[in-house]
Amino acid sequence: MKILIAPDSFKGSLSSQQAADAIEEGINNSQFEKLKIPMADGGEGTVDCLVAAYHGKKMREFVTDPLGRKIQVDFGILKDNKTVIIEMAAASGLLLIPKEKRNPLYTTTYGTGELIRKVIERGYSKIILGLGGSATVDCGAGALQALGVKLLDKNGINIGPGSLSLKDLQRIDFSGKNKFKDIEVTFLCDVSNKLLGENGAAKIFGRQKGASVKELQTIEDNLKHFTQIVKRDTGIDITEFKGSGAAGGLAAGLSLLFKSQFVSGSDFVIEATNLRTKINNSDIIITGEGELNSQTKWGKIPYKIAEIARGSNKQVIGVFGNITNTAKEEYKQKFNFMSAICEKGISQEKAMQDAYSLLSGRVKEIFEKNQLN
């Protein structure tokens, strides 16, 4: 019996590698042949996953985090020595900020722009940019500024950081754009949402980044203002393409500078790791991430894996930190069995604090009780 273990990270508690290790420990049965493939969809773990898949290497740079502090981040270099892999979450991610300081009105993507500028200065011309796990909804304004774009207010001064300052934008100066004409960027989107509207960057993702319900409309209005100035000054509408709402609109803003293509992060990683073949060669597939919710179907790894596995008539188990009530019903046809750490009275705080042992224990219980269809 062959088991494929292919989880994404459990955000805030376990990397995808740690989650895979915990699941393997929980199975703890010599009759099974186990293969671990830690996964990612553009968010945390994407650099590690793709460096391993493409036999690359990791390097480090100092950049600015979402609150303006200096931090050191990893990025990947592939064997062709032309392509780098960057996670925007490493420089501008939600997990870099304590909960009490999270608010996309003030957080910036400047550090992601810094990292892009630095790898270009090193001579790299192709960038794979993972977009998941952002702390920001600034439409990439901070990143554009780090790359030399001037976002000017009525006094001709660069606007400040965060989505709150987008309302001050009056003119965009792209005079240095030509130096990026040969740079190719592939955006790995973990969701397919557009930038504006009820399913957009503010309304769907703003709350999890620290915005209050009242602040969501302010962010939405400021994004709309920013895109209107962009369209007036460049002739480009950055609101309509699929994935423009990923990472608080980062790709929407950066698409103004680079030769860009937008791909599903989960599809890209699935292809890079040859996961379809590994699924076909397995009997049971175990996947999971921090939470199964209504957003999962918009491009998250567990949903994609479940679709592939069920299409190949394989048994697929989903183990999560939490499963929302609507998700239990919504995805019951996708998984043979679903379970969560936050069951039987276990709080979210406890689940995150003891995620490794609780995940391992939950998997052990599933197999001991043979809770499979």
Q: What confidence score (pLDDT) does residue 354 get?
A: 94
Across the range 356-373, mean pLDDT stands at 84
- Determine the pLDDT at residue 258: 95
Q: Give the residue-averaged pLDDT of 104-128.
A: 97
Which value, to the nearest 10 degrees, does the dihedral of the CA atoms of residues 279, 303, 352, 359 take? -30
Per-residue pLDDT averaged across 35-45, rounded? Answer: 93
* Two tokens, residue 136: 């920001």
User: Is 148 strand, coil or helix?
Assistant: coil
SS3 221: helix
Helix segments in the chain, DSSP class H: 16-27, 46-54, 88-92, 110-121, 141-146, 201-205, 213-234, 250-254, 265-272, 275-280, 301-311, 325-330, 348-353, 355-368
Rounded Cα–Cα distance for residues 356 and 308 (Å)? 27
In this predicted structure, the answer to whether residue 190 has a pLDDT above a threshold of 80 is: no
Per-residue pLDDT tens over the stretch 90-103: 999 999 999 999 99
Q: State the average pLDDT over residues 44-53.
A: 93
Residue 77 pLDDT more than 90? yes
Mean pLDDT over each residue of the chain, to the nearest integer: 93
What pLDDT score does 23 carry?
96
Q: Distance from CA of residue 72 to its chain's centroid?
A: 19
pLDDT reported for residue 294 = 86
Is the pLDDT at 246 greater than 50? The verdict is yes
Give the whole-angstrom CA distance, residue 71 versus residue 48. 19
- pLDDT beyond 80 at 261: yes
CA 333 – CA 330 distance, rounded (Å): 8
Give the C-alpha separation, 276 to 261, whole Å.
23
Q: Cα dist. 166→107, 198, 271 in Å? A: 12, 19, 37
Cα angle for residues 54, 58, 63 (degrees, 5° grid): 130
What pLDDT, on the 0 to 100 scale, is given for residue 373? Answer: 45
Task: Give pLDDT tens digits for 144-178.
Answer: 999 999 999 999 999 999 999 999 999 999 988 88
Give the mean model confidence (pLDDT) for residues 22-34: 89
Count of all residues that appear for the chain in the document: 373
The radius of gyration of the chain's CA atoms, rounded to the nearest angstrom, is 21
Span of 30-39, 145-154, 280-289 with lowest mean pLDDT: 30-39
Which domains, ranges and CATH numbers included, belong to the chain?
Answer: 2-39+274-368 (3.40.50.10350), 46-266 (3.90.1510.10)
Residues 311-340 pLDDT 10s: 999 999 999 999 999 999 999 899 999 999
Dihedral over Cα of 88, 150, 126, 274: its sign:
positive
| 305 burial via Cβ count (<10 Å: 0-12, 13-18, 19+) | buried
Q: What's the pLDDT at 372? A: 54
